[in-house]
């Protein structure tokens, strides 16, 4: 009778899954924070930058906090607050995309972008991965009544965002000419780990993982095709035209006198 009168009892596997997703959310957030903190501590970055950098950082890390909080709320079974806080995501996702494009173009025109990335790949792949992030996030929000899809698609969207953090932890100059691909594909370790755990616990892997991980791979392949085509190179040149960023080579390079 007590069970009938109270909230439905959650299956043990669902409780374990909620906790695991919360742990993975914390891990991904830690990687992102660690990457940016290391860069700051080593003097590779500074607060003395145009205001757009600070606005982007505020929105970006707010999203990270929202994602961790949402997983924490589900792990503690506070579904009601999770749903209310989720409304913010509908506004935050497009804001992330707009500021993502803004900071990317600012970086390219102001400094030429990170020297260990090809500018054309940085522009095209960054753009398409931003769109993919939004697509996965909005798909997850639309599928929120279907917990399996909602949880996993949002996880894959978040995994994409760990790229900047991971890139700041790796010796990127040593990864030329595959530095950009490293920050795209290494983050897939997070969904892959979760897929392995899921397989061991339940004996199967949810289809959402294949859509999420597969889309990242496909989008990067398409990005490379476009980036290294005449169209991609021409578009990059147009974005850089008349800016200091146009003075560096389009290909990844090591600055004169550079040391690790």
CB 82 within 8 A of CB 73: yes
Token pair of 24 as six digits: 């993975």
Average pLDDT taken over every residue of the chain = 93
Inform me whether the pLDDT recorded for 13 exceeds 80.
Answer: no
> DSSP secondary structure string, the chain?
-HHHHSPPPPPHHHHHHHHHHHHHHHHHHHHHHHHHHHHHHTTS--S-S-HHHHHHHHHHHHHHHHHHHHHHHHHTT-HHHHHHHHHHHHHHHHHHHHHHHHHHHHHHHHH-S-TTS-HHHHHHHHHHHHHHHHHHHHHHHHTTTSHHHHHHHHHHHHHHHTHHHHHHHS-GGGGTTSHHHHHHHGGGHHHHHHHHHHHHHHSS--HHHHHHHHHHHHHHHHHHHHHTSHHHHHHHHHHHTTSGGGGS-SS----TT---
In this prediction, what percent of the chain has a pLDDT beyond 90? 88
> What pLDDT score was predicted for residue 1?
33
Token pair of 156 as six digits: 């894959």
Residue range 13-33: mean pLDDT, rounded: 94
Residue range 199-222: mean pLDDT, rounded: 97
> What pLDDT score was predicted for residue 185?
98
Residue range 166-186: mean pLDDT, rounded: 97
**Is residue 5 very low, low, confident or very high in pLDDT (cuts 50, 70, 90)?**
very low
pTM: 0.91
Tell me the domain boundaries of the chain.
10-243
> What pLDDT score was predicted for residue 7?
42
Could you give the count of Cα atoms lying within 13 Å of 115 in the half-sphere of its Cβ?
11
pLDDT digits (tens, 9 = 90+) for 53-65: 999 999 999 999 9
Between helices 189-202 and 12-41, what is the axis angle to 10°? 160
Long-range contacts formed by 75-84: CB under 8 A, 24+ apart: 75/18, 75/19, 75/21, 75/22, 77/7, 77/10, 77/18, 83/144
Integer Cα distance of 256 and 251 in angstroms? 15
Residue range 131-138: mean pLDDT, rounded: 98
> Of 167, 155, 158, 107, which Cα lies nearest the Cα of 129?
158
Residue range 100-111: mean pLDDT, rounded: 98
Token pair of 242 as six digits: 């008349």
> What pLDDT score was predicted for residue 260?
66
CB 209 within 8 A of CB 195: yes
> Of 183, 215, 166, 182, which Cα lies nearest the Cα of 29?
166
Inform me whether the pLDDT recorded for 93 exceeds 80.
Answer: yes
């Amino acid at each position: 009778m007590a069970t009938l009168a109270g909230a439905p009892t959650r299956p043990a596997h669902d409780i374990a899954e909620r906790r695991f997703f919360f742990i993975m959310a914390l891990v991904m957030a830690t990687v992102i924070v660690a990457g940016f903190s290391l860069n700051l501590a080593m003097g590779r970055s500074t607060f003395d930058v145009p205001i757009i950098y600070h606005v982007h950082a505020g929105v970006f890390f707010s999203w990270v906090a929202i994602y961790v909080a949402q997983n924490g709320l589900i792990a503690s079974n506070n579904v009601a607050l999770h749903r209310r806080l989720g409304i913010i995501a509908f506004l935050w996702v497009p804001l992330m995309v707009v500021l993502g494009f803004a900071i990317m173009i600012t970086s390219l025109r102001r400094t030429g972008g990170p020297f260990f990335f090809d500018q054309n790949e940085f522009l095209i792949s960054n753009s398409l991965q931003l769109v993919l992030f939004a697509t996965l996030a909005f798909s997850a929000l639309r599928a929120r009544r279907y917990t399996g899809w909602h949880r996993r698609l949002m996880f894959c969207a978040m995994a994409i965002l760990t790229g900047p953090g991971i890139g700041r932890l790796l010796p990127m100059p040593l990864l030329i000419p595959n530095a950009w691909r490293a920050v795209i594909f290494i983050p897939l370790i997070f969904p892959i780990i979760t897929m392995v755990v899921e397989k061991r616990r339940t004996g199967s892997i949810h289809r959402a993982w294949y859509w999420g991980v597969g889309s990242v791979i496909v989008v990067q392949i398409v990005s490379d095709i476009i980036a290294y085509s005449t169209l991609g190179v021409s578009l990059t040149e147009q974005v850089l035209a008349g800016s200091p960023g146009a003075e560096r080579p389009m290909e990844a390079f090591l600055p004169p006198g550079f040391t690790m």
